[in-house]
Amino acid sequence: MNRGLICLIMSACIFTLSGAALAAPSQVSVTDYGARGDGITDDTAAFQSAMNAVKEKGGTVEVPVGNYLIKTHLNIPAYVTLEGIWKIPTAFTQMKGSTLLAVEGAGSETGTPFITLGPNATIKGLTVYYPDQKPDNITPYPWCVACAGGDNSSIIDCLLVNPYQGVDFGTRASGRHYIRGLYGQPLRRGLFVDKCFDIGRIENVHFWPFWNWDEKTGIRDWLWKNGEAFIFGRTDWEYVFNTFVFGYKVGYRFIKTKDGAMNGNLLGLGADASNIAVLVEETQAPGLLFTNGEFVSIAEDHPAEVVVKNTHTGVVQFQNCSYWGSSDQIARVDGAGTVSFNGCNFLGWNRKRNKTPAIELYGGNLLVNGCNFMGDSPQLSLRGKAISATFIGNHANGPLAVTNPAKADLQIGLNTVQKPPAKPKEEAGAIIIDDRDSQPLIRYVGQWLTADAPGAEGDYYLGTHWAFKGNGESRAIFTPDVPKSGRYTVYVYFGPDPGSDHASNEPITIRSAGGTRTVRVDTRPQNNHSAKWVKIGTYRFSAGRKSTITLTNNADGNVLADAIKLIPIH
């Protein structure tokens, strides 16, 4: 063979091999660059070096099992995926699998995010844990994950155990973001979206007590006073699918920023144990389209599943949604926009039994059609600057009570009413006050919840009121109207204990003509005080409403306030 040809072939081979050797890798491990994963060594530089090694043409950086201390923060370059071992969203996996330990920025909400995602960058299969955060002394931190500005940043199958702030896809532009399988217990803010001018997608996000919910630490009350799970600013036709939040002051908040407000498709959203499940300050004209939602508000003062502020000018539509809990009301609607409820179920409002309607309209327009009001309290009141309302084809379990003091344009018709079942029969002459009676017979102070279960086995009549154990701040005050002075035997009704969390020492205080006395009752089922009348004692009562029987939560477990009974002694 010609010597020149041989040399040419050998040169080509050498060039090809050297080019392959010099080509940037597409997949590396953080351990290739010195990461230890022992929870002690600072692995920040190793992570960043590994990601920089694949950033030229894009690639994946693997994070094997380990606890990786990151003393500062990480920047995920464009086209790079940082991937741990998890293939599904996990729960309670701190210090397991691929866990990143975040410590920078304690004491301030502002500062560099723990992870910043470039365009087309992804984190996947990771757990992020803040080891220095304490449930009894919540400390601010900067955002856990944020986008650098640009399109197509993604979060897939990750657990953010306890960040003070979860995901910031709003401070910088975040078009076509994609979040799927994100679990965690963000404390102050969960997910913020703004500046999304092209469709973003969020699905299967679950914000729940994956870190701590021990009421003794105070974290439950802290979250009820401060926590906001989702905050949406300007985003154009956002798709939100199958998301759930538990234990926040606000479940879903919709605001107007300098860039505008949101319109979007919201399917299968849930919010439980909130103060306000859905808070709307503003929307775009195309509106928010809620379908198949489940919303529960029980926490703090004046809980309501939906609150629409007086700043609202857009459209909000709820279709085939369910609302329940021990709320003051289902919806308080204000502003100049339009809100509609179609084919929805309403249960558990008017928890203080003070005739609060399920829905109050203070401004704008309202449509309520084909809905089921599963309670005996008022359904609707039009007040203030209410413009118009339709209330058509609905069903109510109690008397139809729709009022219009605003003299708005109200169209009402084709509604049906179901007569409630008769109350249980008791002894002749017995004085009964049920928890569903109204003032002045029964008055609630502090936080009480309701277990509204018409026909439920064990409750006295159509459910019961109950309260978490506490220090006596929650009181149920029964004031019987005694027809004749004399001696009466007092009974209190206690229903079943499905959660095995009832008090062994629920206090009942009787203030009567003979003075004041407190009796404590073991309400646990093993002591045979479940689902029955319990005799408290015999006392002298004066005629009229001069005596009270008060149940409080100053006990070692949850307490009930279901019904009381006075039987005259002849």
Q: How many CB atoms lie within 10 A of CB 509?
A: 18
CA dist., res. 338 & res. 283, Å (int)? 10
Burial of 131 (0-12, 13-18, 19+ CB in 10 A): middle
| Residue 307 structure tokens | 């609150």
Lowest mean pLDDT among 71-80, 138-147, 488-497, 525-534: 525-534
Q: For residue 353, give the nearest of 464, 490, 468, 493 by alpha carbon.
A: 464
Instruction: State yes or no: pLDDT of 218 exceeds 50.
Output: yes
Strands 515-521, 559-561: parallel, antiparallel or unpaired by DSSP?
unpaired
- Model pLDDT, residue 17: 41
pLDDT band at residue 23 using 50, 70 and 90 as cut-offs: low
Instruction: State yes or no: pLDDT of 9 exceeds 80.
Output: no
Question: Mind listing the pLDDT tens digit for each residue in 109-127?
Answer: 999 999 999 999 999 999 9
pLDDT band at residue 515 using 50, 70 and 90 as cut-offs: very high
Lowest mean pLDDT among 5-9, 144-148, 251-255: 5-9
CA dist., res. 362 & res. 64, Å (int)? 56
Instruction: List the Cα angle 402/407/410 in 5-degree steps.
Output: 55
pLDDT band at residue 453 using 50, 70 and 90 as cut-offs: low
DSSP state of 110: -
- Model pLDDT, residue 353: 82
For range 29-57, the mean pLDDT: 97
End-to-end C-alpha distance for the chain, whole angstroms = 129
Please report, as a single letter, which amino acid is at residue 81.
T
Q: 3-class SS at 202? A: strand
pLDDT band at residue 564 using 50, 70 and 90 as cut-offs: very high
Residue 440, preceding peptide bond in cis (omega within 30° of 0): yes
Lowest mean pLDDT among 207-216, 241-250, 444-453: 444-453
Q: For residue 497, give the nearest of 535, 476, 463, 526 by alpha carbon.
A: 526
CA dist., res. 337 & res. 275, Å (int)? 23
For range 190-215, the mean pLDDT: 96
For range 39-64, the mean pLDDT: 97
Lowest mean pLDDT among 9-13, 239-243, 474-478, 523-527: 9-13
CA dist., res. 258 & res. 238, Å (int)? 18
Please report, as a single letter, which amino acid is at residue 62.
E
Instruction: State yes or no: pLDDT of 19 exceeds 60.
Output: no
Region of 545 (left: φ > 0; alpha: ψ -120 to 50; beta: rest) is beta
CA dist., res. 158 & res. 138, Å (int)? 22
Query: Can you say how many angstroms the Cα of residue 92 is from the centroid of all Cα atoms in its chain?
Result: 19
Query: Can you say how many angstroms the Cα of residue 276 is from the centroid of all Cα atoms in its chain?
Result: 8
Q: In what order do the strands lie in the sheet with 563-568?
A: 431-434, 563-568, 486-494, 532-541
- Model pLDDT, residue 217: 94
Question: Mind listing the pLDDT tens digit for each residue in 483-498?
Answer: 999 999 999 999 888 8
- Model pLDDT, residue 416: 96
- Model pLDDT, residue 406: 97
Write down the residue that tokens 């999304």 correspond to.
196
pLDDT band at residue 278 using 50, 70 and 90 as cut-offs: very high
pLDDT band at residue 457 using 50, 70 and 90 as cut-offs: low
Asked whether 308 and 332 are in contact (CB, 8 A), the reply is: yes
| Bigger pLDDT: 72 vs 428 | 72
- Model pLDDT, residue 15: 41
Instruction: State yes or no: pLDDT of 456 exceeds 70.
Output: no
Task: Read off the pTM.
Answer: 0.86
| Residue 399 structure tokens | 């008397």
CA distances from 168 to 149, 203, 277, 462 (A): 11, 16, 21, 44
- Model pLDDT, residue 531: 64
CA dist., res. 337 & res. 284, Å (int)? 10
Alpha helices, DSSP H, located in 124-185: none
Provide the β-strand partners of residue 530: none
Q: How many CB atoms lie within 10 A of CB 57?
A: 10
